[in-house]
Amino acid sequence: MSDNALKISRRGLLAGAAGAAAMASLSPALIQPVSAKAAMLGTSRPTHYRFKLGNFEITTINDGAIPIPKVHPIFGKNQKIEDVQAFLKENHLPTDKMSISFTPVIVNTGKELVMFDSGYGEERRAKGAGKAVAALASAGFTPDQIDVIVITHAHPDHVSGLMENGKAVYPNARYLVGDVEYNFWSPKALLESSNKNMARRAKAVHSNLVPLAEKATFIKPGADVVTGITSVAAYGHTPGHMCFHIESAGKRFLIFADTTNHYVVSLA
DSSP symbol at 33? P
Q: What b-and-e string marks burial along 112-143, b requiring 16 or more CB atoms within 10 Å of the CB?
A: ebbbbbbbbbebbbeebbbbbbebbeebebeb
Mean pLDDT along residues 139-151? 98
Band (256; pLDDT cuts 50, 70, 90): very high
Q: Is the pLDDT of residue 45 over 80?
A: no
Determine what percent of the chain is predicted with pLDDT higher than 90.
73
Cβ contacts of residue 255 below 8 Å, gap of 6+?
A: 105, 116, 152, 243, 244, 246
Which domains does the chain possess? Answer: 38-255 (3.60.15.10)
Q: Are 105 and 117 in contact (CB under 8 A)?
A: yes
245: β partners = 230, 254
Model pLDDT for residues 74-130, shown as the tens digit of each residue: 888 899 999 999 999 999 999 989 999 999 999 999 999 999 999 999 988 989 999
- Look up the pTM and report it: 0.82
